[in-house]
Amino acid sequence: MTTNTISALERQYIVLTQGGLPVCAKPYHWVAEQLDMSVDDVLTMTIDLKARGVIRRIAAVPNHYKLGYQFNGMTTWDVCDDRALEFGKKVGDLPFVSHCYLRPRHLPQWNYNLFAMVHGRNEQEIKQYQHQINELLSEVLQTHQGPANDILTSTRILKKTGLRLTSTK
Amino acid sequence: MDQLDKQLMNLLQKGFPISERPFKDVAATLNSTEQEVISRVQAMLDSGLLTRFGPMFDAACWGGDFTLVAMEVPDDRFEAVNEIVNGFEQIAHNYQRTHRLNMWFVIGTETSNEIFEVIKNIEQATGLPVFNMPKEHEFFVGLYLPA
């Protein structure tokens, strides 16, 4: 990402498309009409937003559950700090890991610094993934401030609204 | 889902072309037609197989900020605390999870300072500590679920 700032027009683009693109032959023409731009300018802006990382990707998002991926687990790991970047990358590269982050510990309540979200079609698959990550991290896991790892599964979705940019502010 | 639906779902999870006739480009790679692809995608959105179609934005890039936080909520107060937390419009996702820290949610705001205000307000309203776990490094975000 080269810049954190977006123009007023780019902001309008985000507000317009964050709910999705229309499923029609010329979706970017629709954006152009709405924003009173030429379609070439919209395509250029889209490519630029993507290059800057403002748009992560333009894609379809499947419903995990309807595809049979009913199980997810937030695996958490206590990795020694000086190896965390190196090994976090290895975990993030695993195909079944969707999100992978380093986050701060909160001792003594929370000793894990590496988070990796895994998805599978059944509980055994999730456990197998946890096992694979454990093998990968074996030489850098530590236990002096608590267990080396845990897996947190969600028992209930309490709220799911997504992050939205409002047009008013 | 037939073969074309599966191919479309797998292809479109990875990315959608940026061009004047993107569905035509997609159709060309799948040996299909623009109109067929459009009606399949619309049908998968209508049936709920697809939940979203379009650009995914990085909230941090528009000057906003977000963070993951966790709370240890006593069982007998869980519903009441849940109501308080979800009442904040800045809470995007909230999950009950299997750990002593049993409530995990994402706070998304348009400015960084607002994160700390929301945390302080939740702590005051619930009387419980909120553990802030903003990402320090991101290795991968994205998910590919083969259909």
Which residues of chain B does A126 touch, with a Cβ-Cβ cutoff of 8 Å? none
Q: Give the residue, A6 or B11, on which the prediction is more confident.
A: B11
> Tell me: the pLDDT tens digits for B18-49?
999 999 999 999 999 999 999 999 999 999 99
Q: Tell me the average pLDDT of chain B.
A: 92
Best mutation target, B18, B23, B24, B106, to test chain A (most A CBs within 10 A): B18
pLDDT band at B8 (very low <50, low <70, confident <90, very high): very high
Q: 3-state class of A149 per DSSP?
A: strand
> How do strand B65-71 and strand B131-133 relate by DSSP bridges?
antiparallel
**ipTM of the complex as predicted:** 0.74
pLDDT of residue B115: 93
CB contact under 8 A, A165 and B62: yes
CB contact under 8 A, B145 and A57: no
CB contact under 8 A, A99 and B91: no
Min distance A41 CA to chain B CA atoms (Å) = 11
Which residues of chain A does B131 touch, with a Cβ-Cβ cutoff of 8 Å? 106, 109-110
Which residues of chain B does A165 touch, with a Cβ-Cβ cutoff of 8 Å? 57, 59, 62, 64, 110
Quick one: what percent of chain A has pLDDT higher than 70? 92
Across the range A130-144, mean pLDDT stands at 97
CB contact under 8 A, A66 and B48: yes
Quick check: B112 pLDDT over 50? yes
pLDDT band at A1 (very low <50, low <70, confident <90, very high): very low
pLDDT of residue A169: 44
Helix (H), strand (E), coil (C) string for B45-109: HHCCCEEEEEEEECHHHHCCEEEEEEECCCHHHHHHHHHHHHCCCCEEEEEEECCCCCEEEEEEE
CB contact under 8 A, A11 and B62: yes
> Tell me: the pLDDT tens digits for B40-74?
999 999 999 998 899 988 877 766 788 999 999 99
**C-alpha span between B123 and A105 (Å, rounded):** 19
CB contact under 8 A, A57 and B45: no
pTM as predicted: 0.76
Q: Which residue do the tokens 């990968």 mark?
A: A136
**Where along chain A do its domains lie?**
9-51, 71-153
B65 to chain A: closest CA residue: A163
CB contact under 8 A, A103 and B135: yes
A89-93 long-range contacts (CB < 8 A, ≥24 apart) are A89/B139, A90/A136, A91/A116, A91/A133, A91/A136, A91/A137, A91/B139, A92/A116, A92/B139, A92/B140, A93/B139, A93/B140
Quick check: A134 pLDDT over 90? yes
CB contact under 8 A, B105 and A67: no
| All domains of chain B in start order, with CATH | 3-46 (no CATH), 59-133 (3.30.70.3460)
Which residues of chain A does B123 touch, with a Cβ-Cβ cutoff of 8 Å? none
Best mutation target, B46, B95, B114, B138, to test chain A (most A CBs within 10 A): B95
Which residues of chain A does B45 touch, with a Cβ-Cβ cutoff of 8 Å? 23
pLDDT of residue A64: 79
pLDDT of residue A69: 82
Q: Give the residue, B31 or B113, on which the prediction is more confident.
A: B31
pLDDT of residue A5: 79
Quick check: A3 pLDDT over 50? no
Q: What is the CATH number of domain A71-153?
A: 3.30.70.3460
pLDDT of residue A80: 98
Quick check: B113 pLDDT over 60? yes
pLDDT band at A164 (very low <50, low <70, confident <90, very high): low
A154 to chain B: closest CA residue: B97
Best mutation target, B36, B62, B109, B131, to test chain A (most A CBs within 10 A): B62
At B94, phi and psi to the nearest 5?
-145, 125
pLDDT of residue A98: 85
What is the spatial order of strands in the sheet that B91-97 belongs to?
A: B131-133, B65-71, B103-109, B91-97, A149-160, A71-77, A114-120, A97-102, B137-141
